[in-house]
Structure 1
Amino acid sequence: MAEYRIDDLARAAGTSVRNVRVYQDRELLPPPSRRGRTAVYSDAHLSRLRLILSMLDRGYAFAQIKEMLDAWQAGHSLADVLGLEEAAGAAWSHEQPRVVSMAQLVRMFGTQVTPSTIRMALELGVLVRRGAQLVAPSMKLLEAGHELVKLDVPLAEALALAAELQSETDRITALLIGLVRRYVLDPKGADWLPSGEELPHFADVISRLHPLVMSAVGAAVDRSARRVIPEVLGDRLIALAERARERAE
C-alpha cells in the first residue's frame, strides 16, 4: 500500500495542501497516521479525497458530503470502509504526477517548447498547472512524446496524438469495466449496494480492475504493434530488400 506525505497526497488528487487541511478540519477526511512528527496518508485517504473532490464538483456542500460519508460509515464497520477505499485508491495510484520545470521541458523538446505548445499541452491535460508549477500527470506519456520528437515528429503532432490515444484508451477501458459491471454488479439489481458482508468481495473486484485493464490493453497494444509496424512500413522494407538484391546481382 502506498504512503503519502500531505503534499504528495494533494498532488496525486489534483488539489492543494490547503484544501486537504480544510477537509480534515471539517472531518471529511480521516486523520493521518503518525510516524514520529510526520503525518502519513494511505491509499484510503487518496480514494476518500478524490471522492470528496468529485462530490464538490457535483455541487454538494460540505455539510451534505459529511452527512453522506457519516451515514455510509455508520452502516458499515470502519475496517470494511477502509478496505474498500484502499482497494479503490490502490487502483488509481500506479503513476504519480510529477512537477516538471520549464528548463526540463526545453531539454526534452528544445525550441518546440513555445507558448502555443504549452497552451496545447495544458488544454489536452498532458500538463496541468498547479499554482506557479507545471505538473505532468503521466511522465510516461511525456517521455513517449519526447521519443517521437527525437525522431523528428513535430511536438504539436505528438500532442494531438496524445489526445487521440487518451480518448481511444478511455473508450476501451470503459468497455472492459462495462463488462464487469454488466455481469458482476448489474445482475444484483439496479439499486444494489454491497452490505457489510459483501464489501470484502466488492473491494476485491475493484482492486482487480486496474491490473486487468493494464494486462488486457498492454497485450492488445503489443500484438497491434507487431502487426501494424510491418504493415505501415512494409513498402519501405520491401524497397530496401529489393535494393539489396539488385546490388548483390
Structure 2
Amino acid sequence: MESGPGGGGPAAPREYRMEELAAKAGITVRTLRFYRERGLIPPPRREGRIAWYDERHLARLHTIAALLERGHTLSGIADLTAAFESGRDAGEALGLVEPTEETPVRLTPEALADHFAGEVTPENLAAALDLGYLAVDGEEIVHISRRLLDVSAALVREGVPLAAVLAAGREVRAHADALAALFVDLLHAHASDQDVSRLRPLAKHVVEAELSLAMDRRLAEGADEV
C-alpha cells in the first residue's frame, strides 16, 4: 500500500489514501465517505486534492465496527464520539487527583462497552466524564480508579442501572469530600504535614467502620419494618 511522502530519519507515521484505508478497515469507500460526512471519523490531512488518513482513522473505524457489533446504532456512535471528543483530557483529569492510591485503567471504547453491556449511552458517558470517572486520551479512555470501575461494573451486572450508579457516585463524592475535609483539617491541626500522609490510612479505617455500622443499623431498621 502507498504511504504519504516522507524523508530520511525516523519513519513517518503510516498514511493511507481513502481506498487503502477502506480496504484496511474492511469497508467500502462509500461507507467510509458516509462515516466522514457524519463526523464519525476526524477530517483527513489534505495535500492538494489528495486526502491522507492515518492510524488514528483506522483505529476509529475498528471502534465503530466493534460498537456496531455490540448493538449500537450509527446515530448512537456519533453521539458517543461527540461525548468522547468533548471529554476532559486524561493528563488534565489525572493531574487533578495526583498523588493517588488509586490505579487508573486504560480502555478502548469497545472494552468500556463490554464492561457495561448496553449501558454505555451518550447520557451515561457524559455523566461519567463530568463526574471525572472517565477521561480521554486519543482513541483510548482512562478510568481514574480500577476499584471504582470494578464495583460499578459489578453493580450493573447485578441489575442496577448505570445511570443510578453514577447518580449515587455523585452523592458519595459530595459526602466523601466532606469527610476528607474533616480528617485533613483534624490532622493538620494536630500533626505535622509529613504525618498527615502517614496517618491517612487511619481516616479510611474510621470511615469503613462507621459505614459498616451505619449499614447494619439501616438494614436492621428495614427488617423491623417488615
- 1:149 alignment counterpart: 156
Determine the C-alpha separation between the residues in 2 that align with 1:98 and 1:110. Answer: 18
Aligned counterparts of 2:223 and 2:134: Cα–Cα separation in 1 = 32
Give the equivalent residue in structure 2 for 1:162.
169
User: What is the RMSD of the two structures over their aligned residues, measured on CA atoms?
Assistant: 2.7
The runs of at least 4 consecutive aligned structure 1 residues that moved more than 3 Å come to 232-235
Normalised TM-score (structure 2): 0.53
- Within the alignment, does 1:136 sit opposite 2:143 as a pair? yes
Greater share of helix residues, 1 or 2?
A: 1
Distance between the aligned counterparts of 1:229 and 1:110, measured in 2?
30
Q: Following the alignment from structure 2 to structure 1, what is the Cα–Cα distance between the partners of residues 108 and 150?
A: 14
Task: Check 1:139–1:233 CA distance in 2 against 1; reply closer, same or farther (3 A cut).
Answer: farther
Deviation at 1:175, TM superposition (A): 0.4
- 1:97 and 2:173 correspond: no
Q: Which residue of the partner structure matches residue 218 of structure 2? A: 228
Instruction: Tell me the alpha carbon deviations over residues 137-196 of structure 1, each in whole angstroms, 9 at most, x when there is no partner.
Output: 1121122222222222211111011111111111111101111222346xxxxxxxxxxx
1:219 to 192, 198, 209: 209
How do 1:23-34 residues align onto structure 2 when only pairs under 5 Å count? Answer: none
Relative contact order: is structure 1 or structure 2 higher (C-alpha 8 Å, sep ≥ 6)?
1
Structure-2 change in CA distance of 1:234 and 1:105 (3 Å): farther
State the SS of the aligned residue for 1:111. coil
Between the aligned partners of 1:133 and 1:234, the Cα distance in structure 2 is 49
Q: Which residue of structure 2 lines up, in the alignment, with residue 15 of structure 1?
A: 91
CA displacement at 1:233 relative to structure 2: 5.6
Whole-angstrom CA distance in 2 between matches of 1:134 and 1:234 = 45
What residue in structure 2 maps to residue 177 of structure 1?
184
- The sequence identity of aligned pairs, in percent, is 30
Report the number of matched residues.
136
TM-score, normalised relative to structure 1: 0.48
Contact 1:177 1:209 in 2 (8 A): no
Shift of 1:136: 0.8
| Structure 2 gap ranges (5+) | 1-89
